[in-house]
């Protein structure tokens, strides 16, 4: 194996090459992260759209049942206060 001469320009060249490799790796990871985040957000938004109508209907039914109970209790309280 031949020994390479270590000159100032070689040293600077190595630093620039290593820095370029580092930045390339960072950009690749950032692209992967951006893609993963975009996919996750899309999945969350798509999942919510399909279930929202069913959720609203369920909440309305629960609210109607609760309102009926409140009306019933109010009527019972009114009867007991008259006696």
Cα separations in angstroms, 63 against 48, 56, 60, 72? 21, 10, 5, 14
Rg, Å, the chain Cα set: 34
The pLDDT, as a whole number, for residue 4 is 67
Mean confidence (pLDDT) of the chain = 86
Model confidence, pTM: 0.46
Q: What is the pLDDT of residues 36-72, one digit of tens each?
A: 999 988 888 776 555 677 788 899 999 999 999 999 9
């Amino acid at each position: 194996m031949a020994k390479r001469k270590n000159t100032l320009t070689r040293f600077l060249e190595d630093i620039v090459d290593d820095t370029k490799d580092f930045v390339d790796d960072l950009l690749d990871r950032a692209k992967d992260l951006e893609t993963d985040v975009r996919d996750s957000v899309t999945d969350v938004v798509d999942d919510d759209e399909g279930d929202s109508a069913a959720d609203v209907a369920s909440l309305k039914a629960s609210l109607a049942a609760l309102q009926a109970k409140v009306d019933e209790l109010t009527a019972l309280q009114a009867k007991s206060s008259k006696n």
